[in-house]
Amino acid sequence: MGLTITEKILRDHSNEKNASAGDFILANIDKCLANDITAPIAINVFKEIIEGTDRDVFDKKKIILTPDHFAPNKDVASAEQCKVLREFAHEYNIENYFEQGRVGIEHCLIPEKGLALPGEVFIGADSHTCTYGALGAFSTGVGSTDLGVAMALGKCWFKIPQSIKFIYSGRMKEHVSGKDLILHTIGQIGVDGATYKAMEFTGEIIDHLSMASRFTMCNMAIEAGGKNGIIPPDRITEAYLNEKHKVNYKKYISDKDADYFDIIEFECSDLEPQVSLPHLPENAKPISEVDAMRIEIDQSVIGSCTNGRLEDLRVVAKILKGKKIAPKVRCILIPGTPEIYLDALKEGLIEIFLNAGAIVSTPTCGPCLGGFMGILAAGERAISTTNRNFVGRMGHVKSEVYLSGPAIAAASAIKGYITSPDYI
């Protein structure tokens, strides 16, 4: 019996050369990541491990620290958190520490900097670390304790997950993107439908899907309970990497006779843009159905590690150009990195946003986790391109978050209720 791409990567990073799904392994880590929320705990664990020894971090080039969640510092507590990262990075000469002004939303920044590659084992003390599976890496979120151990030893324990193969066929309609594919998928299988499974995305639609949409899909694998999301590297992956960084890497693909826990197929020719209603991503409905509900909004958030890339901003600019945000709506746009911000500025996108009456923020996770830059009051509703809409996720426990792709979020900001560009 053959192996899946996930099994192959994890087997090759361990000493268990016959390991397969269900086996426990101690894997060698290629990269590890933490942010201003999770790193301080990991740093404490690391220091406990090395106390009384002359040990150093396992590799100064392979640890990545990003103050991006409550940064720029929103209060004294967040300033203290960021200070811990800064001092640790300077003490241990961490090469990939990104100070504010250079930092971006971590899961947008890391691929942009060439810090995630096909075939790697990449862990992060952030659940959306599964984003880098879009490049053909095994990439997953871990706890801060595991991250602290990895910073010292360069290793992490895993149970090799079984894989579910998702096959997407047909041709996507206008305004349908990777965000709609993954919301629809989670809507069909539920938020626990892939618990501790590798979600392997394949099919003719994936073969032609942009890297931005691929990152979005793998980013939200965790929202179906997945251990990781992964797309076998292909010509689109290679073109992206060659444009950004000419680096060496090892590509893996699944064997034709690989053993899958399940195979799920979606014919997507009639798929509409999706909206996930409160308070779970699995509450996905087609936009035609949601439009008929006439759900008024107070805020539209466009950005995050899910949809803060240049492709997303271009979609929004096309819809907002020459139009105005509804008087009662706050529209907040958050480019994922300084480079994305600068590219949007050069292309005239920022001017379009400001002329429409939108707010443009420095790169930050901010409102996605109810941090700052867009907190909701009781009774308020937001349409958001972020990845979670749990109770209280973006502010007050009596607020509501509706998830969508950039096209729906932009159109809704104009009309003042959740709708499609097709209806404005």
Residues 197-244: tens digit of each pLDDT: 999 999 999 999 999 999 999 999 999 999 999 999 999 999 999 887
User: Do residue 159 and residue 39 come from a single domain?
Assistant: yes
User: Do residue 166 and residue 280 come from a single domain?
Assistant: no
User: Do residue 126 and residue 198 come from a single domain?
Assistant: yes
Residue 230 structure tokens: 């992964």
Q: In Å, what is the CA distance from 421 to each residue of 235, 357, 386, 399, 406?
A: 31, 18, 19, 25, 10
Q: In Å, what is the CA distance from 124 to each residue of 79, 107, 141, 142, 171?
A: 21, 10, 5, 6, 34
Single residue among 246, 265, 284 that ends a domain in this structure: 265
Residue 93 structure tokens: 């000469």
Task: Compute the average pLDDT of residues 32-36.
Answer: 97
User: Do residue 176 and residue 239 come from a single domain?
Assistant: yes
Task: Compute the average pLDDT of residues 50-57.
Answer: 90
Single residue among 221, 240, 265 that ends a domain in this structure: 265
pLDDT over 70 percentage in the chain: 100
Task: Compute the average pLDDT of residues 273-294.
Answer: 97
d(CA 249, CA 287) in angstroms, rounded, equals 40
| Cβ(215)–Cβ(107) below 8 Å | yes
Please check whether residue 271 lies inside any domain of the structure.
Answer: no
Please check whether residue 126 lies inside any domain of the structure.
Answer: yes
Q: How many domains does the chain have?
A: 2
Question: How many other C-beta atoms are found inside a 10 Å radius of the C-beta of residue 207?
Answer: 13
Please check whether residue 207 lies inside any domain of the structure.
Answer: yes
pLDDT at 158 over 90: yes
User: Do residue 111 and residue 260 come from a single domain?
Assistant: yes
User: Do residue 289 and residue 240 come from a single domain?
Assistant: no
Please check whether residue 115 lies inside any domain of the structure.
Answer: yes
User: Do residue 309 and residue 329 come from a single domain?
Assistant: yes
pLDDT at 71 over 90: no
d(CA 39, CA 48) in angstroms, rounded, equals 14
Task: State which residues form the domain around 115.
Answer: 5-265
According to the model, what pLDDT value does residue 423 have? 86
Count of helices and strands (H, E) across the chain: 15, 18
Single residue among 265, 291, 307 that ends a domain in this structure: 265
Query: Which CATH number characterizes residue 227's domain?
Result: 3.30.499.10
Report for 20-24, 71-75, 371-375: range of highest mean pLDDT: 20-24
| Residue 72, preceding peptide bond in cis (omega within 30° of 0) | yes
User: Do residue 234 and residue 362 come from a single domain?
Assistant: no
User: Do residue 260 and residue 305 come from a single domain?
Assistant: no
**pTM (whole model) above 0.85:** yes
**What DSSP designation does 64 have?**
E
Please check whether residue 374 lies inside any domain of the structure.
Answer: yes
**Nearest of 114, 108, 102 to residue 313 by alpha carbon:** 108
Task: Compute the average pLDDT of residues 262-287.
Answer: 97
According to the model, what pLDDT value does residue 246 have? 75
Please check whether residue 270 lies inside any domain of the structure.
Answer: no
**Nearest of 393, 377, 287 to residue 330 by alpha carbon:** 377
**Nearest of 384, 232, 383 to residue 305 by alpha carbon:** 384
Amino acid found at 213: S
- Which helix (DSSP H) or strand (DSSP E) does residue 166 occupy? strand 162-169
User: Do residue 368 and residue 411 come from a single domain?
Assistant: yes
Please check whether residue 346 lies inside any domain of the structure.
Answer: yes
User: Do residue 96 and residue 237 come from a single domain?
Assistant: yes
| Confidence band of 51 (pLDDT split at 50, 70, 90) | confident
User: Do residue 225 and residue 123 come from a single domain?
Assistant: yes
pLDDT at 280 over 90: yes
pLDDT at 245 over 80: no
pLDDT at 312 over 80: yes
Please check whether residue 154 lies inside any domain of the structure.
Answer: yes
